[in-house]
Amino acid sequence: MTSPEFSSDVEAIRSIDAVPVILSMVKHITGMRFAAVARVTEQKWIACAVDDSINFGLQPGGELVLESTICHEIRQHRKPVIFGHASQHSVFSLHHTPRIYGLESYISIPIIKANGDFFGTLCAIDSVTAKLDDPAIEKTLTLFAQLIAMNLDTQRDLLAAQASLVDANESARLREQFIAVLGHDLRTPLSAIRMSAELLQTQSADKRSLGLVAAIRQSSVRMGTLIENVLDFARGRMGGGIPSKRQVVDDLERTLRLTVDEIQSSNPAARLSSSIAIPAGVYCDPLRISQLLSNLLGNAVTHGSTTAPISVQAYADDDDVVISVTNQGEPIPANLVPLLFEPFTRSESGQRGEGLGLGLYIASQIATAHGGSLKVTSTPESGTNFTARFPGKQKWL
């Protein structure tokens, strides 16, 4: 019975379809009647595959006492051992292995994997003499041993790839669970908080209470935006981009005006100046375009000057739709500009403001999903401007 420690080695050799043919060829080339592939370690000699015509008594999984074999020595010096007439050999006539097993002819070739690990040997034995002085015999068996090693390496790489795939599938499953938590377990109580704040706002006349309710409502809106951003980031990384459902819409202008009103309502101290003129028949995902504008405005409110107005422009430029948000204040350092549309950049760069640094990344991904782009300029004279541009007409292929 194969030791559990070596069952995987026996199975690895068994799964190599060429091994039975190799053992048969070894017997044919050498004229010997027993051939095997052996796993040889510091403690064990285990037969992994056997072609036996002399009833030696070994089966795959069978074991010999390590110290009784020559393979024990081969594992140490990693060189082939070949003799065809042990009783007449200057060294092996005195060696214990031929005497123990009654051998006259013997050949054993080391099997060494690509990483240098010694696996074992490809060997042949017989109780009668054999003519083994032809160099082609050693060369051919060495090639057979290398072929076995290559197959073992391929199996190892395949198992590693399968393990990586299992890990990737597990990671994907955990990401899906994470999205489910965000999508349900967080958004549901958050909606309840927001609705409760709105209800309290209509029922309270106390100025201090109204201020607290307004703060709760504003925080819940900001938290909702963070949750949506993380959801979109996770979905985008899983599916190769943020999903969008583009269609021909006639009321994108109204959608964008409502977005500006929502930002103004959530940030009453901010000064927003908007000019929005979008024609009907724009091919887009209106909810995603609204999200793009909301993220750009949220960024401007957080990082712009509190004394200067934020300018919002949305218009058609030939067949393109252009959405532009400009705020005044300290310009963005030049070394940070290339990083603005990367996720989590804000926390890594030490910028002031709240959030995870996903807003601009998601806005950029939405523009890309619409076949467009999002660009930024930032100077002390003109302020910081983000401009999204995307084709507003459907292109039929």
Q: What is the pLDDT of residues 221-238, one digit of tens each?
A: 767 776 777 777 666 665
What pLDDT was estimated at residue 347? 43
Contact 259, 294 (CB under 8 A): yes
Convert the pLDDT of each residue in 4-50 to its tens digit: 778 999 999 998 988 999 999 999 999 999 999 999 999 999 999 99
Q: Give whole-number Cα distances, 142 to 17, 111, 215, in Å.
A: 18, 8, 79
What mean pLDDT do residues 128-152 have? 93
Query: For the segment 163-211, what is each residue's pLDDT rounded down to a tens digit?
Result: 777 777 777 677 666 666 666 566 666 777 777 777 777 777 777 777 7
Tell me what pLDDT residue 306 has: 86
User: Are 386 and 375 in contact, with CB atoms under 8 Å apart?
Assistant: yes
| Residue that wins the pLDDT comparison between 225 and 296 | 296
At residue 241, the pLDDT reads 65
pLDDT of residue 352: 45
Contacts of range 49-58, beta carbons closer than 8 Å, 24 or more positions apart: 49/13, 49/14, 49/19, 49/20, 49/23, 50/23, 51/20, 51/23, 51/24, 51/26, 51/27, 53/27, 54/126, 54/127, 56/125
- Summarised one tens digit per residue, pLDDT across range 100-131 is 999 999 999 999 999 999 999 999 999 999 99
The reported pLDDT for the residue numbered 161 is 80
Given a cut of 60, is residue 149 above it in pLDDT? yes
pLDDT at position 349 over 60: no
Confidence of residue 358 (pLDDT cuts 50, 70, 90): confident
Per the confidence metrics, is the pTM higher than 0.85?
Answer: no
Confidence at 361, pLDDT banded by 50, 70, 90: confident
